[in-house]
Every structure is written in C-alpha cells, then in structure tokens.
Homo-oligomer: A and B are copies of this chain.
Amino acid sequence: MQDTIRTLIQKNSSKIFMFVLDGLGGLPVRGSTELEAAKTPNLDAIAHTSACGLHVPVGYGITPGSGPGHLGIFGYNPVEWQIGRGVLEALGLGMELHNTDVALRCNYSTLAEGLVKDRRAGRIPAGRSKKLTEKLQEGINRIDEAEIIFSAGMEHRFAVVIRFPEPLEIGSTLVNDTDPQKTGKAPIPPKPENKQSERVARIAEKLIREASDILKDEERANYILLRGFSQVPEIPSFEDAFGLKALAIATYPMYRGLARLIGMDTPVVTGDIREETEFLKNNLNGYDFFFVHVKKTDSYGEDGNFEAKVSKIEEFDGVLPEILAMDPDVLIITGDHSTPSLIKGHSWHPVPVLLKSPYVLGRLSERLTERECTKGELGIFPATGIVPLALANSGRLRKFGA
C-alpha cells in the first residue's frame, strides 16, 4: 500500500501532529484501565468530536518491541522492515549509524579458564562500565580497514559500531552471537555464515582478542560477548514515502534514533511533556509532520505503577489546550503499543487512536479509552493505516484512479 500512497502525494502547507504516548493502551484493574481511571476533561472533549479507533501494531496476538511499534505508526510494515538488536542498542545510546556500519550489542563478562563464569560480569555499575569502555576506546579505534566506536550503556552493557570505508554487501552481518547463553560454557567464536560476512567476522575476532588483552587484569569484566550483528535497514525516508518533512521531538535517544532511521530531524530535547510542547511551539516552521514522544506512560506501565501511568495521562491532558492552540490541521494521539500495568510489560492489545480533523463523523466515542474506541469510526485497523489517514485528512492525497 505504501507504493500506492507514494503515487498520490500532493504537497500543501498543512501541519500534522502525532503525539505518541508510549505504551498507551491498558487493561482493567479494579474495573478500569489507566485511560478510564484518568481525569481527562480536555481529551474527553476532543474525543467526542474526533475519529477514534484502535490500531493493531503488527498483527493479532503480536506484542511489538519499540522498533516495530514505531515503524507501524510511521506507516512502515514492521514485518517487512526489521531492525536488528545491535542497531537498536546503538540508537538507544545515541550513536549515529550510516550504511557503512555494523552495530553490535555487547556485554562485559567474566571468563575463567576459558569458560564464561558470569555472562554479565556481576552486573558491574554504570560508572565502572563507562570507565572500561573509555579504556577500550583508547586502546582500539581501528581494526584493519574499519573504524571502531564504543559507547557505554547500562550496567554491563555497551555497544560497538564497526564503521567500514564503504557500504557493505547484503548478508555481511550474518555472524553468530558469541554469548553461549549459559555459564560454564566456552564463548562461541564469531563465524561468518556466508562469504560476505567474512570481513565482519574477522574484525569481530580481532576485537575480542584486543579487548581481552586490555581487560586481562580486571577481576570481573575481563571478557566481552558480542550479540546482534546488524546494519541499518535500507528503508525509504519518511519524506520519500509520504512527502512529509518531519521533526521528531523525543527526550530518549532510542526514539530519536528510530526517527533518524527514516530521515526525520532529531534535535536533542530534554524534559518531559511540557518542555516537548514548548519545543514544538518554537519549531513549527520548516516542517510538515511533528512526532512528539512521551516516554513515561510506558515506563510506569512496565513498572506496574497504575497510578503513575494515570497521572502521566492526566499531565498530558493538562498540556492539551496548549497543543490545540497551535491549531494543527490534523492531530493524532496514540501509542506505539499497549503497556498494561496489569501485565508490567508491552502487550499485544490494540492501541487507542484519536484523529482530530474537520473531516470526521465524531460523536461515536465519549472518551479516548480502549472501550470507547471500540465504538469509533476508525474501527480496529492496522497501524500502517494511520499515516495515510493523516495525509488524507490534511488534503495531501490525490484521488486514486479516475
């Protein structure tokens, strides 16, 4: 369908806002979901006059990670465009990725007599991990033809980017994880699965050897395990696919990274909903589409903190008048997936969507809640339908056929 949409695009000066409250959807706890429990007079008012529904992020029963969750609401089929683990880790740490790069997620681990004694090096604290990663970067910044870039993560985790002088052939990242997944086993050497991946495997092998040498006097973090060899997918840019110049306003590096994968502008923004809304207000010129990411609804859902998720939704409701005052042609409010506090994690449940525009029926849903949205004019529909609907409602799609 993306191919069809592309042929229909026409430009105009309309503005589309997409507010993504991460992990928005929930399940009832003592009878009410988080959205149902929240006091949201402003949201209620626009829900009543907007098109509402629920989107299915990937497919029935499928619980999406953040990558596929966002690709879907950005209009890309998340099964067709898969993002590797190494890439997502690197994006999450704010690393830039090019089409010449291979990204890995790595662990510090403890090796004793050739066997993995602790896969996480006793979960060494972030401060220590940061120091070690700096030490590795000082000692290793090039292996053969490739530049090596390290970035420290949480606890025992870090990411490595292997930057080659030119784009790699397809299949170049088919190298196995070296983590044996169990303690008491030897690490698995990185082996190429085909001819194209030989150069990546060769550099990975040298990387392990050089890192071991640098870390050899460490008591716990004396070895590194490599996983998720991957490259950025050759995905069409959001502007190419949908004709929209887009600004991503997100405080967490991973979401900026995801937006950057499809060519959105991704300035560093700090703060929360208020600061993000302020940033939006100051950057309305020069863009057609604004993706604003609110992280904490998901975080509180993951913590199983029903009340905090409710409060975060109410906080968003408090900012909504300011958002409406900017008078976007189309306003979308949704999530990338559901994160019910009941489940303490992402879930497969369809996600409430609100689409505000002059061209809707309205008066079908009283509120933006899971149950009220089942009554809405958008129905239960694939996430990839959201961006085309936004384009249509902003007058940006020509008629298909005569």
Contacts and interface: CB of A to CB of B under 8 A. Distances in A.
Interface of A: 1, 4-5, 8, 27-28, 33, 54, 58-68, 78-79, 82-83, 85, 88-89, 340, 342-343, 345-350, 359-364, 370-371, 374-382, 384-393, 397-402
Contact of A348 (B364, B392, B402): B392
A377 B388 contact: no
A147 B290 CA distance: 56
B374 A379 contact: yes
Nearest to A71: B401
Given A59-B1, A64-B401, A388-B61, A359 B375 contact: no
A344 to B, nearest CB: 12
Given A4-B62, A27-B359, A60-B386, 9 more contacts: A1-B59, A61-B385, A61-B393, A65-B399, A68-B401, A88-B401, A347-B359, A349-B359, A379-B379
Contact of A60 (B27, B28, B374, B389): B389
Nearest to A62: B400
Most B CB atoms within 10 A — which of A58, A83, A380?
A380
Nearest to A377: B374
A28 B172 CA distance: 55
A5 B60 CA distance: 10
B361 A400 contact: no
Contacts of A364: 371, 374
Given A342-B359, A402-B85, A59 B374 contact: no
27 contacts: A1-B59, A1-B62, A4-B59, A4-B62, A58-B400, A60-B381, A60-B386, A60-B388, A61-B387, A61-B388, A61-B397, A62-B400, A63-B392, A63-B398, A64-B400, A64-B401, A65-B400, A65-B401, A78-B400, A88-B402, A343-B359, A347-B392, A348-B389, A361-B374, A374-B379, A379-B380, A380-B381
